[in-house]
Structure 1
Amino acid sequence: MFSLSTSFQPQQMIVPLSQLLNALHSLKNSATASVQALHKDFTPEHNSFLKEPSVSLRDLGLSEVRVSQLDELISRLLPIPGPEEPPTVPSSWRTSHVSADSFFHNKHGFSHRRMGVFGSPVFHRQYHSPLKEVCSQLQFLPLRVQSRGFKTLRSRTRRTESTYDGPVESEAFTPAFMKVLLTKEKAPEAQSLDQVMAQKNLPENQQEAFKTGFTEGFMRSQAFTQRTQDSLRRTRLILLVLLLVGIYGLSRTPFLSVRFRTTSGLDSAVDPIQMKNVTFEHVKGVEEAKNELQDVVEFLKNPQKFTVLGGKLPKGILLVGPPGTGKTLLARAVAGEADVPFYYASGSEFDEMFVGVGASRIRNLFKEAKANAPCVIFIDELDSVGGKRIESPMHPYSRQTINQLLAEMDGFKPNEGVIVIGATNFAEALDNALVRPGRFDMQVTVPRPDVKGRTEILNWYLSKIKVDPAIDAEIIARGTVGFSGAELENLVNQAALKAAVDEKELVTMKELEFAKDKIIMGPERRSVEIDKKNKTITAYHESGHAIVAYYTKDAMPINKATIMPRGPTLGHVSMLPENDRWSETRAQLLAQMDVSMGGRVAEELIFGDDYITTGASSDFDGATKIAKMMVTRFGMSDKLGVMTYGDVSKQSPETQAAIEQEVRVLLKDSYERAKNILKTYSSEHKKLADALLTYETLDAKEIQMVLEGKSLDH
C-alpha cells in the first residue's frame, strides 16, 4: 500500500497505489489531448494562451474523492509557482524581449506557466512510468527553471515604428551620435536606383542622363578617396623615415652616443678615449702621487721589464683623497703617458632600476678592455659601486654589481695589461674584499697641496689668462691654506671675471685678493646700511684683533683687516701664515686665543661693560675650542697632566669639573693678556680704528704704516 499523509481533518485518505497511478496516467492523457486541441485552435485574438481542460473525476476513477481534497493533494506534490514581478525599467525606455524567459518557451512556443492544471504544469511528452513523470515535473519549479535574460532597452526615439504608447520625450534628449546611428540603420532599407527614378517619374531621356551623372560622380568620389589614402600612406612613410634618421643621428652624436647606449637596456659599451694630450706635466701640487704612478706607466710601456724576474703587474690602483685634489687627472695622465686606451666609468652609472643591468655593464666594460689591452679602466666614485655588502630588504640585488666587479678583477691574468684605477674620497666605505691585495694592490694618497703645491697650481692656471707680471702667486698661496686644486682654479676664474666686470685689460693682485676673500668670507654686502655707532663699534672690535695680533710674539702675521660686511660677519681680520703649520706649539695656541679675545676686550675698554655686543660669540667659540683641546687632547694642562680624554661626557663628575676649571683658567688668562696689550697700545688702537672707518679695508702694509704713525694719503 502507498500512503499519503495530508492535512485533511478529521479523516485520513488511504488510496491504493495502482489506483493512484492509473488516475495520474489518465489525467495526463486527457490534459495532453486538451492542450493539443486548444493549441491547434489558438488565434491571436485570444486573451490567453490556453484554458484549463475540464476532466471528470468519475472518468479518472476518483469519484469518491472530493475535488478540494484532490486539488490540495496535487498542490502538495507540485507547488504552484508564484507570479513573476515584471522588471522595473526607466520611464523613458521600454523592454524588448529578444529571447523568451526560458528554454521551454523557446522550444515549444508557449510558457509552462500558461499550462497550469490543478496547480501543476502539463507536458506534451509521453512517459511510460507515472512516477517518472511526476518526478520530472520538479525541474520546472520557479527555483529550478533557468530564465534567459537576453534583453535590450531601446530608446523611444524609434517609437514611430512600434506600438509603444509611453510618454514622448523631447527631441533634444537624443544625442547627435544617436541620430547618426539611427540614420545609418535606415541604409539597408534604401531603394535601388531604378526604384528612385520610377518614383520620380523621370522621362527615359532624363533617366539615362541621371544614371550617367550618378556614375561619373561616384567614380570621381572613389578616385578622390583613393588619392587621399595614397597621400596618407606616403605621409606616414616619410614620418617613419625621418624618425629613424633622427634616432640614428642622436646615437651617432659624440656627447649623446654614450648616454644613449648607457640608458638603452643592457648595452652599455663605453668607447675608449685617447689621452695623448694629458701627461704628468699637467698635474701640479701632488709630486708624491706622481712619483708612485710613474711605475705604473712603466708597467704599461714595458711589462717584460718587470715580468722577467717573475714579478706580477698590479691589477688595481686605488686613489684616495679629498674632492678636487686631482685624482681623475692623475688617472688620465697615466693613460696619456703610456699612450694606451682610457676607459672611464662613474660608479653611479652601474646602478639601474632593472635587476642585473649593473653586473652586465661591468662585464661589457671588462670585455672591451681585454680586447684592447694594454689599457686603463678608471672607475670614479668607486664607493658608490664597491661599498660594503650588507643585507638590505630595500636593495636585495645591490650586491650583484660588486660581486661581478670582484669576479672580473680576479678573472683576467695578472700580466694581461689591464690596469684598473679607482678613485674615492671615502675609502672607509669600500668592501674589504675589494681593497685586498690581488685586486687593488696599490693605494695612493692624493692630499691637499701644501704652500709649494698651491703656488705651482696658481702659476699653472694664471699662465692661461692675461695677468699683471707683478702678481705674486706665493702670497695668494699662503692665504689659501686648505684649498684644493679645484678651488684654486675657481679662485683664478673668479679673479678673471672680476677684471672683466671692471673692464680691465689684465688681472692684478687686487682681483685675486677679491676672489680669495669672496671664497673664504663670502661676497661683499655693500647694500647693507649700518649706522655710525655700530660701524664705530665694529671698527674698534676689528682693530682690537689686529693690535693683539700685531704685538703678540707667536701670533700669525696679519694679512688684511676690513669692516666691509661679508657673509654673516660685519668685519674680519685675516691672517697670513708664513708657511704651512704641520704642528703648533703651546705659545702659538695661546697666541690664537689672545687674538680671539682682542675684539671683546676692545669693546669693554672703549665703550664700557654695558655696551659690549654679541659680535664676539664666534671669537669665544674658537678660543674655547682651543682651550679644551689643550686640556683634553694635547696634554698641556699643569693640573691634569699629559692624560687625554676622548669623550668628556663619559668621565666622572670630578674629572669633568676639573677639565672645566682648567679651560676656564686658560680663557681668563688669555683675556687678561689681551687687555694688557690693548691698554698699553691704546693710541695705536684708536689710530687703526679711525683708519678703518675712513678706508674700510687695510692690507698688512697699510696696517703697519698706521701703527708706525705714517699717513696713508699718497
Structure 2
Amino acid sequence: MFSLSTSFQPQQMVLPLINALHSLKSSATASVQSLHKDFTLENQLYSREPNVNLRDLGLTDINVSQLDELVSRFRQILPELQEPSCVSSPWRTSHTSSHSFFHNKHGFAHRRLGAFGQPIFHRQYHSPMKDICSELHFLPVWIQNRGFKTLRPRARRQESGYNGSAEPETYTPAFMKGLLQREKTPDVQSLDKLIQQKGLPDNQQDAFKTGFVEGFVRSQTFTKRTQDSLRRTRLVLLVLLIVGLYGLSKTPFLSGKGSFSDAVRFRTTSGLDSAVDPIQVKNVTFEHVKGVDEAKNELQDVVDFLKNPQKFTVLGGKLPKGILLVGPPGTGKTLLARAVAGEADVPFYYASGSEFDEMFVGVGASRIRNLFKEAKANAPCVIFIDELDSVGGKRIESPMHPYSRQTINQLLAEMDGFKPNEGVIVIGATNFAEALDNALVRPGRFDMQVTVPHPDVKGRTEILNWYLSKIKVDTELEAEIIARGTVGFSGAELENLVNQAALKAAVDGKEMVTMKDLEFAKDKILMGPERKSVEIDKHNKTITAYHESGHAIVAYYTKDAMPINKATIMPRGPTLGHVSLLPENDRWSETRSQLLAQMDVSMGGRVAEELIFGNEYITTGASSDFDGATKIAKLMVTRFGMSDKLGVMTYGDVTKHSPETQAAIEKEVRILLKDSYDRAKHILKTYSQEHKTLADALLRHETLDAKEIQLVLEGKSLDI
C-alpha cells in the first residue's frame, strides 16, 4: 500500500536518491551527509554515516549493469512523481498496525518531536536500512505501509470520475527484481506482426505462413490423438475397476456368504441384512425321529397349537413361548425342531447362535430384530436357534467387552417384551443348559425344558433298523445285538456305524451288509482301526492270547458278570487285544455283586500272566485293567456306601479329609482289590484246561465271537 507522507517538494528527493544508488554501485557504503546535503539544518542534525549495503536493501541478486538500469528508470519515473495528483484515488488505505511496514518488521519507531520541537528516535540497534526508511518516511515519495485497501463506495467513485477496474495492482517483494528482468520484447498478437517483427522478405512470407499453418495443424492432430488415447485409457481403467470391485464383492471374504477359513467367519455386512427366508419343511415328521419318544410327546402339544390355536385359546390358556431342548450332541435336537415344523406345516426359521456373534458392535442385535420381524410377519411359524449357549450365555461385566450383552438383551426383549409375540414358537437347543442366562430360561421365555438323552436299547434298536432299512442287509442280521453292544451311542453315532459297515462291505466286494461288517464298524469306532501292519512276534502274541482268554474265562464262569460278546488279539488303536462284554439290557443301577464281578474280570488278565508265565514275567498290559478296577473300588467305598468299616457315609473330595480318614479309605479300597484278585486266581486255577484251549483258539483264529467261545469252552470244534 502506498501513501504520500508529507508535503515536501519531490525535487528534494531526486539528487539524494541518485547519489545513494551510485554509492551502492561503487562500494555499497556511503555517507548519509551526501544523501541529505540538500536537506534543512533540522534534518542535518540527525544525519549519520550508516553502513549501507545491497543486502539491507534486498538487492543482493542485482549486478552492476542492472543497478545502472535501475538508476535510469528512476530518472524516467521522476516526472510522474513530481506531478500532483489531480484526480482522487478510488482506493482508501486502512492501517491495521503502525505507519510503516519496516516498523512492524524491524521493531523500531519513526522519529517524533521532543519537548522542544527536536526530533527523537527510538531504536534498539543501529541499522542503515532503518535510517534510510526513517528518512524516506518524511520525503514526498510513495512508500509501502502496513494495511489493506478497500474500494470506496460506488457513489464516491462516480463523483471522482474513476471508471477503471476495481482490481488493485499487485506489488510483491520481488517488484524491483521483476522490473529489471522482465521481457522487453513486445507481445505478438497476430501472424502478420510476427512476420513484421522477424523482418522476413516478401518472397519468404508465404512459405513462412504455409509452414506455420502446417505445423499448427499437425500439432492439433497430435493433441487430438493424445486426448483420444487418454480418453480410451481412462475408459479401460474404469471398466477394469468396476469388474474388479464386482469380482471382489463375490468372494467369500467380502460377500458374507462363505467362510474366510474353517475357524473364523469374517463378514463385512453392516448388520442390516436382507429379509430372512423361511424353510418349508415337508419331508420331516415325527415318524423320522426314533429313540426319543418322551421328547416327541412333549412337542406334540406344540404341533397341535400350531395346527389349531383356537383349541387352546378358547379356555384362556396360552402356549409356552419357548421350548428349550437339552441333551448331548447328536441325540436329535435339530431333527426334533424340524419335525415340529414339518408336522404343523408352518414356516421354519433356522439360525445358529454363532451367526449373531460378529466383530461389529450392534450387528447381532440387528439380526435378532430382523429374524423376529420376519417371523412375526409369517406367523404362525417356528424359530429354531441352534447352539443357544453361544448367544444366550450368562451376562457378565467385562471392561474388555462392553457391548457383549447387546445381542442377548435384544433376544430377551423379543421373546418377552412390550410387543406381543403371538404365533411365533421359539425352539432353542444347547448342550450346556447350565451356561444359559437365568433371565432366558425363566417362565415367559423358555417355559418348557425338554431333555433329549442318549437312546436306550429299544431306542438304539429303532434307530439302527431305520438306517439299516436304507441299505442292503443280510436277512439274518440282528440289530438288537448291535444295539446291546453300543451303550452310550447317540443317534448320529449309530448312523455313522451303519455307514461304516456299508463301506466295509463294499470294500470286501459283498452284495449286502452282514453282522460281521457291523461288528467291525463298532470295534473301529470304539477302539480304532485294525493295525494289520504291526508285526508282533510269537512270544508277545502268546502272552496277549493268554491275557485275553483269562478275561474271558473269568467272565464266563462268574455269576453276575456281563455276557461275553467277542474276544480278539487283533491290535486296534493303543491295545493289542480286547474282550468285549455285552449287557443283556441297559443297567440303570448296579448291585454290589455286579460291581465285584466287573473287578474280577478286570483282574483276570494279570492273574493269567502270573499263572502261565510266572511272577517274574508279568507285563504292563494290565495297567488299563487296574485303572478300571480301582475306580470301581473307590466308588464303592466313597460314593456307594458299600464298605463295612466306613459305613454309608460319602466322601466327595478325599484330599480334604483328615489323614486318618484317607488312610482308612485307602485300606478299604486295597482290601476290595485284593479279594477280587484272589477270586480271579481261584477261577483260573479251577478252569486251567479251558483257559489253555481258548488261548490256542485265539492264536489260530485271532477273533472269536460269543458263540465260538461257547463252543471252544464246551470242547466242540469250530467250523471256520
For 1:420, which of 403, 415, 426 is the aligned residue?
426
Relative to structure 1, is the Cα distance of residues 496 and 129 closer, same or farther in structure 2, using a 3 angstrom cutoff?
A: farther
Asked if 2 retains the 8 angstrom alpha-carbon contact of 1:261 and 1:269, the reply is: no
1:343 aligned counterpart, secondary structure: strand
In the TM superposition, residue 220 of structure 1 has moved relative to its aligned partner by 3.6
Aligned pairs (5 A) from 1:23-422: 39-44=20-25, 46-50=26-30, 125-129=110-114, 134-137=121-124, 207=208, 210-211=211-212, 213-236=214-237, 238-239=239-240, 242=243, 256=257, 263-267=269-273, 269-411=275-417, 416-422=422-428
Residue in 1 that maps onto 2:599: 593
2:690 aligned counterpart, secondary structure: helix
The reply to whether residue 655 of structure 1 matches residue 690 of structure 2 is no
Relative to structure 1, is the Cα distance of residues 128 and 625 closer, same or farther in structure 2, using a 3 angstrom cutoff?
A: same
2:428 aligned counterpart, secondary structure: strand
The reply to whether residue 497 of structure 1 matches residue 482 of structure 2 is no
Aligned pairs (5 A) from 1:396-545: 396-411=402-417, 416-545=422-551
Asked if 2 retains the 8 angstrom alpha-carbon contact of 1:362 and 1:405, the reply is: yes
CA-to-aligned-CA distance 1:300-335 (integer Å, 9 cap, x gap): 111111111111121111111111101111111111
Asked if 2 retains the 8 angstrom alpha-carbon contact of 1:542 and 1:572, the reply is: yes
In the TM superposition, residue 129 of structure 1 has moved relative to its aligned partner by 4.0
Relative to structure 1, is the Cα distance of residues 133 and 477 closer, same or farther in structure 2, using a 3 angstrom cutoff?
A: farther
Asked if 2 retains the 8 angstrom alpha-carbon contact of 1:593 and 1:626, the reply is: yes
% identical equivalent positions = 76
**Aligned-partner Cα distance in 1 for 2:120–2:703:** 121
The reply to whether residue 562 of structure 1 matches residue 578 of structure 2 is no
Residue in 2 that maps onto 1:185: none
**Aligned-partner Cα distance in 1 for 2:33–2:642:** 128
1:567 aligned counterpart, secondary structure: coil
1:408 aligned counterpart, secondary structure: helix
In the TM superposition, residue 465 of structure 1 has moved relative to its aligned partner by 2.3
Equivalent residue letter for 1:501: V
For 1:688, which of 684, 690, 694 is the aligned residue?
694
In the TM superposition, residue 49 of structure 1 has moved relative to its aligned partner by 4.4
Residue in 1 that maps onto 2:619: 613
Equivalent residue letter for 2:358: E
Residue in 2 that maps onto 1:627: 633
The unaligned stretches of length 5 or more in structure 1 are: 1-31, 61-73, 75-82, 85-103, 113-120, 142-191
In the TM superposition, residue 137 of structure 1 has moved relative to its aligned partner by 2.9
**Aligned-partner Cα distance in 1 for 2:494–2:198:** 101
Asked if 1 retains the 8 angstrom alpha-carbon contact of 2:565 and 2:579, the reply is: yes
Asked if 1 retains the 8 angstrom alpha-carbon contact of 2:256 and 2:269, the reply is: no
**Aligned-partner Cα distance in 1 for 2:631–2:108:** 110
Relative to structure 1, is the Cα distance of residues 455 and 373 closer, same or farther in structure 2, using a 3 angstrom cutoff?
A: same
The reply to whether residue 579 of structure 1 matches residue 585 of structure 2 is yes
In the TM superposition, residue 34 of structure 1 has moved relative to its aligned partner by 12
Asked if 1 retains the 8 angstrom alpha-carbon contact of 2:501 and 2:517, the reply is: yes
Equivalent residue letter for 1:222: T
Relative to structure 1, is the Cα distance of residues 375 and 248 closer, same or farther in structure 2, using a 3 angstrom cutoff?
A: farther
The total of aligned residue pairs comes to: 585
2:642 aligned counterpart, secondary structure: coil
**Aligned-partner Cα distance in 1 for 2:338–2:269:** 25
**Aligned-partner Cα distance in 2 for 1:598–1:135:** 120
Equivalent residue letter for 2:310: Q
CA-to-aligned-CA distance 1:535-592 (integer Å, 9 cap, x gap): 2211111111111111111111111111222111111111111111111111110110
TM-score normalised over the length of structure 2? 0.73
2:300 aligned counterpart, secondary structure: helix
1:345 aligned counterpart, secondary structure: strand
Asked if 1 retains the 8 angstrom alpha-carbon contact of 2:111 and 2:121, the reply is: no
Asked if 1 retains the 8 angstrom alpha-carbon contact of 2:270 and 2:363, the reply is: no
The reply to whether residue 710 of structure 1 matches residue 691 of structure 2 is no
Relative to structure 1, is the Cα distance of residues 578 and 39 closer, same or farther in structure 2, using a 3 angstrom cutoff?
A: same
1:441 aligned counterpart, secondary structure: strand
CA-to-aligned-CA distance 1:161-208 (integer Å, 9 cap, x gap): xxxxxxxxxxxxxxxxxxxxxxxxxxxxxxx9989x989999678656
2:497 aligned counterpart, secondary structure: helix
